[in-house]
Amino acid sequence: MEYLKLTNCDLVVSRIGLGCEVLGGTDWGKVDLREAARAVAVACELGITLFDTADVYGLGRSEEILASALGKRRHEVVICTKVGVRWAVSDPGRRARTFIDSRPQYVIGAVEASLRRLRVDCLPLCLIHWPDSNTPIEDTMEALRRCQQAGKIRSVGISNFSASQISQANAIIPLAAAEVSLSLIDREAAQAIVPTCQELGVSVFAYGPLAQGFLTGKYGEDSVFDCSDRRHRLKHFQSDQRPKFMIILERLCEVACQAGRTPAQVALRWTLDVPGVTSIVVGGRTSAQVEENTAVADWHPKAFQLACL
């Protein structure tokens, strides 16, 4: 496993992180939570030290299960959680309504709630989940500073912010990390946001490197997802748009075959090798998936193998 030190703090993280949204038990179809929890333990054994979650994942459930799955190791690894999304449950069994809310009072309360669910005294890394157009960035970042000064947060960062917003936030509090969506079929961040982070000296976490499973090659043009699985509303899984993304997938599968690797491993290595990317955040609902994903840590392909992607 490879490790890098984050900027503006003393945290060191594995270059492959485990995305823990699936532990929330919602939005990904049927999930075996016991197996997903075992995958957390396997991740630790394989050298993963970065675990990415958010308070809104499963409405707090992801944080709670992650804390239990890690046990005492939760004090040794880097848990990165995100706040700034408020939710309201209307009818039992139905998807909760969510609202972006980064007002200082709400952020401070969310940090305290995450501390309780994760059963830690201080959050190693806390990110603002989404930019809030109704709240000045200055107010939100100052709220994080207050939490940091109170010993509730060790390091701060942001997620899903634009390049200009990252610059603005970093001018208020030096950021430990900025999290962006980045994959073979979603390369915009590599062109616009990652270079800005490099200029500012901000570490980058790339989430969605497998495009929600699309780049594993497991799902064909006939795959269908019901409303309990978020993929039913993502563009690269829509029947009318999927063909153009299948071209990229077919090329990926060809490279994987030539390299003797799985399509997922090639896709992950491509994202890891984007200049400026510190770590990738990869979901894993089974131990086998975690083992497959972490195998790319020791694989350094020749340039020509990924050049055609």
Pick the closest to residue 180 from 196, 162, 155 (CA basis). 162
Choosing from 57, 106, 207, 219, which is the catalytic residue? 57
Q: At what angle do helices 104-118 and 61-70 cross, to 10 degrees?
A: 40
Q: At what angle do helices 137-149 and 104-118 cross, to 10 degrees?
A: 40
**How far apart are alpha carbons 228 and 236 in whole angstroms?**
17
106 catalytic per annotation: no
Read off the tokens for 282: 């990869």
Catalytic residues: 57
